[in-house]
Amino acid sequence: MTDTGRVTWIAAAVLLGAMAGGALVQNASDAVRLSGQDQHELYVSSPNVLRRLCLGYTGLMADIYWTRAVQYFGYQHHRQSGDFRLLAPLLQVTTQLDPHMLPPYQFGANFLAQQPPNGAGLPGEALSLLQYGIQNNPDQWRLYYNLGFVYFTEFKDYAKAANAFALGAKLPVTNEFMPVLAARMAQHAGEFDTSRMLWYTAYESSKDPRVRQNAVDHLLALRVDEDVTRLEELVLKFRQRTGHNPANMGDLERAGFIRGAPVDPNGKPYRMTTDGRIEVQDPKAIPYITKGLSHPVADSPLRPSL
């Protein structure tokens, strides 16, 4: 082998070896450096300072901050940490850098409004975000829809929810469900039906497959919540009639309350406990359910999400 050839081979081997070694050392140092500490920090939280630092290229900066907010929410949600302290500031920076960018209002409000571990549990911040969004984009019906959604699901404030839906319904470009939702809110009509309509509207009005799948998950969860509520009402009726709880679904069937064993959306039969509660067999397979859990959730049956 010539001198040049030898040098080429040695240099190539050193290059690859150093690259691989560098990656290994970096992984090892990450394990030491990052273990047990949250890497997320918001070093610049002032939109005005950021606007100046990026020399007026605010659109790209807003995109970057929105992507950061999505990644941050996804990361904390995946970890089930319940720590969403940076979510509101990230969304605030995003929307102030680009007040006409709609996804941060639509999805960000839901990220904020949900209770931990699914969200930040900051419905007040969600309202502020949406109100800022409406102030800057008064012709966007989706923002009124999201506002009504948060009022309904988080605050049970039917009057304000009805007002938000009604305002959205009056816009030149709106959704056909908006006036119906406004009317339902005004009447305090059936909660399950109203929630179903809200999630159906969310499904219909988005093209993003993840958003649509999320709406489907919520619709399925609503079906479970409704099934469990209805079955527990039947258990109560059975008790009132016979003086004791039914031992199983068969007792309800024999008493003529149901026909066949009711099943959840995954086809698994509901289970009845000795004290007459109804449970789903595999709650993890049906996200967002609030009823039919082994440890029932005491508060609202309807939790909003993405």
Partner 1 sequence: MNSRIRLVAFNTFREAVRDRVLYNLIAFAVLMSVAAILVGQISIDVERLVVVNLGLTAVSLFGVVIAIFIGIGLVSKEIERRTLYTVLSRPVRRWEFVVGKFLGLTGTLVVNTFFMAIGVFLALLYVAHKFERADYSVLAALYFIVLEFVIVCALALFFSSFSTPIMSAVFTFALFAVGSLAEDLRAFAKAATGFTSLIATALTHVVPNFAAFNVINQAAHGDAIPARLILYNTLYAVLYSAMAISGAVLIFQRRNLK
**Alpha-carbon distance 44 to 290, whole Å?**
38
Nearer to partner 1, 92 or 106 (CB): 106
Q: Is 58 in the site for partner 1 (CB under 8 A)?
A: yes
Q: Which of 139, 127, 69 is nearest to 97 (CA)?
A: 69
Considering only residues 24, 208, 213, 250, which one is a binding residue for partner 1 as defined by CB under 8 A?
A: 208
Q: Is 55 in the site for partner 1 (CB under 8 A)?
A: yes
Contact window for partner 1 (CB under 8 A) among 56-64, 83-91, 146-154, 192-200:
56-64
Nearer to partner 1, 140 or 163 (CB): 140
**Alpha-carbon distance 111 to 95, whole Å?**
15
Structure tokens at 7: 């040098």
| Residue located via tokens 């999400």 | 305
CB of 59 to partner 1, least distance (A): 4
**Alpha-carbon distance 253 to 175, whole Å?**
42
The H or E element containing residue 62 is: helix 58-79
Other C-beta atoms closer than 10 Å to the C-beta of 294 total 10
Q: How many CA atoms lie within 13 A of 292 on its CB side?
A: 30
Binding mask 62-101 for partner 1 (x = CB under 8 A): xx--xx--xx--------------------------x-xx
Q: Is 217 in the site for partner 1 (CB under 8 A)?
A: no
Counting residues that bind partner 1 (by CB under 8 A) gives: 24
Residues lying near partner 1 in the complex (CB under 8 A) are found at 52, 55-60, 62-63, 66-67, 70-71, 98, 100-103, 106-107, 206, 208, 210-211
